[in-house]
Structure 1
Amino acid sequence: MDSTLACLAAWMPRQRWYAGKGRPPSLRLVGWWDLSAHDDANARIRTFLVADEAALPVVRYQVPVVMRPTEAVDAPEATWIGSPEPGVTFIDGPTDPAYARALLSLATGDRTATGPQMTATGHPAAHLEEEVRTAEVLSGEQSNTSIIHRAAHTPVICKVFRQLSPGLNPDIELATALAQAGSRHVPASYGWVEGRWNDGGGEATGSLAFVQEFLPDVEDAWRVALRAAARGDDFSEPAGRLGEATAEVHLLLADLFPTRENSSADREATAATWHRRLTIALAEVPAIAERAAGIEAVYRRAADAAWPRRQRIHGDYHLGQVLHHAERGWVLLDFEGEPLRPMRERIEPDLAIRDVAGMLRSFDYVAGSLRRDDPERSPDGVPAWAARARAAFVAGYGARSGVVLDQRDPVLTAMELDKAVYEAIYESRNRPTWVAIPLRAISRLLESTD
C-alpha cells in the first residue's frame, strides 16, 4: 500500500481539484471500497479515501482508480496515475468507462459497495431508464469531477466529489428537494452515493457522488449576458426573468426547509465577517484605504436595519451557476455554497439577499470584463447596460417574492459591498489587472449611499 500512496502523492498535485497547490501531500490511507466491472474483465475498480495531513485542517480526498493490466491499457497517457504494482496501470477513475458505468449504476440503484473501513451506498431519487450511454469527463471543473453520460432520451451528469466532508452535501440536499417539489428551475435528480468511513475519531458519513439531469446544447447565463452586452442588446427582460426565477427558488426553499429570525449572535457573526474581510483588504489592497470610512459606515447602517428571516439559499450565486433553457427558462445549478467555506457553515440558514448581491456583482463583472478586453469601447455604454440589468433583476425578484427591495437597501448594499471587498482581495492576489472592477463597484456603492 505504501507504493500506492506514493503513486497518488506524485499524481494528485497536478490535478485541478487538489487544494494544496505549491506543496507535496502527506497522505494517509483512511479506507477504500470496490465496485464490480461486470462487463469488463480487464478492469478492477477501487476508490481510495486518503487524508492529506500536510494540510491544516486535514483534507480528505476521494480518489477513484481503475486498475488494468499494463499491456491491455489503451487509455490516453494523460489519464494514467502510475504503476504501483508490477504489470498494472492505475487509470483516473472518472475517465474510464468501466468506472463511469459502475458508479452510475450504484448511485441510481438501491445497493451498497464495501471495502476496508468504508462502505458506499446508492440512494435512487427517481427512476432512470436503462439505455445505451457514452461517458465523458466535463472539462474545466476544479473542486469536483463531473462525468456526462450522453443518451438518446435521458442524458445525465454525475458529479464526483473529490474533497469529502461529513454530512449530506447541500447540492444534493437542496437540488433534490427542489426537483421533487416540482421546480422547473433545477435539473431532475436521479440519485446519489453516500459514503461511510472511520477516520480514527469515530464513524462519519459524507456525500461521494450526485446524479442529475444533463441539459445538452444550452449556455450558461454568463455567456448569454456577455454576448448581449458585447452587442449592446438590452438585457432587462432576461434579467427580470432571472430575478423572478431566483425568487421562486428562494420561496420554495423557505417552504421546504426551516427558517428563523436573526438572533443577536447571527448579526454579530455576519458583521464580524464583514470587518474581518475589510481588515484583510486594507492590508493587501492599498486603494481601499481611502474608502474604509465609507465602507464602515455602510456596515453600521446595515447592522441597525431590519433583516429578513434566515433560510437555506444557493450560497455561491452568479451568472455561471445558471443555464438558459429554451423551454424551461433559467435553470439553477450547484447548490454547494462557497467551496472554501466549511460544510457546517454552508448548510446553515442564511440571508436570501446574499444570493441577490452575488448576482448583482456578476452583472457588474460582465461590464468590467468587456471594458478590460476592449478599452476603446465607450466608457458609458457597458456600465449603463449593467445598471439596467441590475435594476431589472432586482425588480423581477421583488415582484415575484413580494419583498420590497431596491439596490439602496442597507443590508443588500452591505452584502454587495462585502462581496466587492472579497473580490478586490482575490483579484489583487490572482489577477491584479482585474482589481479595477471591484474597486469601481465599491466607489459606486458608496456614492449610492451618500
Structure 2
Amino acid sequence: MADTVSPSDSTSTTARLLASLEPLLRDWLPRQRWFAGKGRPVTGFTPLAATELLPCTGRLGLYHLLLRVHQPPLPGGPPHPGDCYQLLIGVREALPPRLAPALIGHVAQGPLAGRTVYEALHDPRPAEVLLEALRTRARIGGLRFERAPGQEIRDGLVARLMTAEQSNSSVVYGDTFILKLLRRVVPGVNPDLEIPLALARAGCARVPAPTAWLQADLDGQPCTLAVLQPFVSGASDGWELALRELAKGEDFTAEARALGRATAEVHTALALALPTVTLGQARLRQLVDGMTGRLEAAVRAVPALRPYESGLRSAFTALAGPVAEGRTWTAQRIHGDLHLGQCLRSPSGRWSLIDFEGEPARPLAERRMPQPAVRDIAGMLRSFDYAALSASPPAPAWAQGCRAAYCSGYAEITGRDPRTERVLLRAYETDKAVYEVVYEARHRPDWLPVPLSAVRRLSLPDQEARS
C-alpha cells in the first residue's frame, strides 16, 4: 500500500490524476444511484485527497479519492460550495467480463493513460484491501482505519457488493461483516458511527455494534468514511418482508407490534446514553419555522403540492396553540430516518435497527440535534403507508392495522402511546410526506402518487385526517 500524495502541489500526481479522470467522471458520476446532484451538470472538481491503496505498477491498482463536485445551484437557490464524494477507483489494463457493469472508462492521458478505470467495490480484491486495513488498524496517508477494542476481524473473508438501491454502498464479507461506505461525506462526527457506539456502550442489543471504521480529516474536522458492523445473516429487510406478507394477504400486525417494541427499546437506551433537552417556546418556534420553510421550498420545486399548501401548513401552525400555552416536549437523539427498510428481522424473529445516518439531504448538525422521539415514529407510520399503497391492489386497511399495532407495541415498553401526541405526530408526519414528495419527484417520478396520497389526507383538518 502506498501513501497519499498532496493535492496542494499543482504539479503533483493528484492533480495529474484528476485531470486524466475528469472527463470520465463527469459522465459517470451523475448516473450513480448515490449521486445527490441529479438533474444538474457537473461543472468541475476540486481534489481534497488522493490515496494510492494498491500501486498501479501491477495488474491491479486502487485509488481512494475525496473529491468536491461542483454544480450549478438549484433554481432560485443560493450558491453551493459543492458536495464531497468518496470514490474507490480500480485500475486494470482491461476489465474481465464480470466487471463490465463497473466500468468508468478508458483513460486517454496522464499517469493512467492506456488503463481502464472502474468502480472498485464491484471487485472482491480491492474490497478485501479495505477489510485488511481495518483489521490491522492501518494508517495510509490521511486515512485512519480504526478498530473497536476487543473486536477481532479474521482474514480471508470473501467480499461481495450488495446491489440493493441505496444512497451509500455496502460490502458483505463472508456473511460475517458488512461495511457501509458513505458516498457523500461531510466534516464532523457521523451519527451512523456515533449512535451505534453509544448504544453498544449502553448494552442495547437492538443495533449491531460497530466493529471498525474509517476516518479522515475534511476541512480540518474528523470525517467518517465507512463503518464495519456484524452482518445479520439470514435477516429479512423490513420493507421486503412487509411487501411479501402483503402479496400473500397475510396479517403483519404482530410484526408491527414487535417493531414498535424494538423502536422503544432503542429510544429508551438513547435517552440514557446521550443528553436530552427540553424544547421550550423558542426551539419549538424554530421547529415550526423549519417545517414551514421546507414546505414552501417543496411547493416551489414540485407544483403538484400547490393545491394542498394551505392545509399542510395548518399541520405546522397547529403547534402554535400548545406552544403559546407553555407546552414543552423532551428531545433526545433518535434514528432520524426510520422506515421499514432500516429494520432487519433475524431468522429468530428479533428486530434490529440499522443505518443511523439520518436523512442525508439535511445538514449534519441538524441530523445530530436532539429531536422528539415522535419524529422516528412518524417516519415508520409513513413507511407502513408506503408499503400498503405500493401493493396491488393498494391496501390502506393493512396500513391502518400496522400503524395501530406499532404504536401499541411502543407503548408497551415506554408506557406512552405516541398517538396521544396527536398535534406533534401530525406535524412530523406531514413534514416527512413533504420530504418524500420532493425526493420522489427528483429520483422516482413513478412513485410520486404514493406520498401525494398522504399529502391529500394530511392536508385535511385534523379530525378528518385521522379518519
Per the alignment, residue 338 of structure 1 pairs with 359
Pick which of 286-295 and 330-339 moved more.
Answer: 286-295
The question of 1:205 aligning with 2:222 is answered yes
Equivalent-residue separation in structure 2 for 1:412 and 1:44 (angstroms): 51
Per the alignment, residue 76 of structure 1 pairs with 99
Per the alignment, residue 34 of structure 1 pairs with 52
Q: Which of 348, 352, 356 is the equivalent residue of 1:327?
A: 348
The question of 1:143 aligning with 2:159 is answered no
- Conserved 8 A contact 2:386-2:450: no
Aligned-residue offset at 1:311: 1.1
- Conserved 8 A contact 1:34-1:47: yes
Aligned-residue offset at 1:281: 5.3
> How high is the sequence identity, in percent, across the aligned residues?
34
Alignment of 1:42-441 (within 5 A): 42-54=59-71, 56-68=80-92, 70=93, 76-84=99-107, 85-114=112-141, 119-125=142-148, 126-151=150-175, 155-197=176-218, 203-280=220-297, 284=303, 285-289=305-309, 291-292=311-312, 294-295=314-315, 298-301=318-321, 303-304=323-324, 306-327=327-348, 329-370=350-391, 373-374=392-393, 382-406=395-419, 409-427=422-440, 430-431=445-446, 432-441=448-457
RMSD: 2.7
Aligned-residue offset at 1:298: 2.9
Pick which of 186-195 and 287-296 moved more.
Answer: 287-296
- Conserved 8 A contact 1:122-1:191: yes
Aligned pair in 2 of structure 1 residues 435, 168: CA closer, same or farther (>3 Å)? closer
Pick which of 243-252 and 276-285 moved more.
Answer: 276-285
Aligned-residue offset at 1:335: 0.2
Equivalent-residue separation in structure 1 for 2:298 and 2:463 (angstroms): 16
- Conserved 8 A contact 1:121-1:193: yes
Aligned pair in 2 of structure 1 residues 292, 239: CA closer, same or farther (>3 Å)? closer
Listed one character per residue, the Cα deviations across residues 118-160 of structure 1 (whole Å, up to 9, x for unaligned) are x001110252341532212111334211111125xxx111111
Aligned-residue offset at 1:439: 3.1
Aligned-residue offset at 1:66: 2.1
Aligned pair in 2 of structure 1 residues 426, 446: CA closer, same or farther (>3 Å)? farther
Q: Gaps (5+ residues) in structure 2?
A: 1-15, 73-79
Aligned pair in 2 of structure 1 residues 100, 295: CA closer, same or farther (>3 Å)? same
Aligned pair in 2 of structure 1 residues 230, 93: CA closer, same or farther (>3 Å)? closer
Per the alignment, residue 378 of structure 1 pairs with none
- Conserved 8 A contact 1:421-1:438: no
- Conserved 8 A contact 1:417-1:445: no
Equivalent-residue separation in structure 1 for 2:177 and 2:244 (angstroms): 27
Pick which of 352-361 and 271-280 moved more.
Answer: 271-280
Secondary structure class of the residue paired with 2:337:
coil
Aligned pair in 2 of structure 1 residues 96, 179: CA closer, same or farther (>3 Å)? same
Q: Gaps (5+ residues) in structure 1?
A: 376-381
Equivalent-residue separation in structure 1 for 2:227 and 2:313 (angstroms): 45
Equivalent-residue separation in structure 2 for 1:293 and 1:14 (angstroms): 35
- Conserved 8 A contact 1:171-1:335: yes
Question: Which residue identity lines up with residue 87 of structure 1 in the other structure?
Answer: G
- Conserved 8 A contact 1:156-1:211: yes
TM-score, normalisation: structure 1: 0.86
Equivalent-residue separation in structure 1 for 2:29 and 2:386 (angstroms): 32
Aligned-residue offset at 1:43: 2.3
Listed one character per residue, the Cα deviations across residues 398-424 of structure 1 (whole Å, up to 9, x for unaligned) are 221133532562212221232234334
Per the alignment, residue 30 of structure 2 pairs with 13
The size of the alignment, in residue pairs, is 429
- Conserved 8 A contact 1:218-1:323: yes
- Conserved 8 A contact 1:315-1:335: yes
Listed one character per residue, the Cα deviations across residues 49-101 of structure 1 (whole Å, up to 9, x for unaligned) are 11112252311111111223x15856522222233323322231212222211
Question: Which residue identity lines up with residue 183 of structure 2 in the other structure?
Answer: R
Aligned pair in 2 of structure 1 residues 189, 297: CA closer, same or farther (>3 Å)? closer
Equivalent-residue separation in structure 2 for 1:31 and 1:384 (angstroms): 52
Aligned-residue offset at 1:241: 1.2
Aligned pair in 2 of structure 1 residues 399, 346: CA closer, same or farther (>3 Å)? same
- Conserved 8 A contact 1:127-1:190: yes
- Conserved 8 A contact 1:108-1:192: no
Question: Which residue identity lines up with residue 78 of structure 1 in the other structure?
Answer: P
Aligned pair in 2 of structure 1 residues 88, 94: CA closer, same or farther (>3 Å)? same
Aligned pair in 2 of structure 1 residues 195, 294: CA closer, same or farther (>3 Å)? closer
Aligned pair in 2 of structure 1 residues 195, 325: CA closer, same or farther (>3 Å)? same
Question: Which residue identity lines up with residue 438 of structure 1 in the other structure?
Answer: A
Aligned pair in 2 of structure 1 residues 220, 73: CA closer, same or farther (>3 Å)? closer
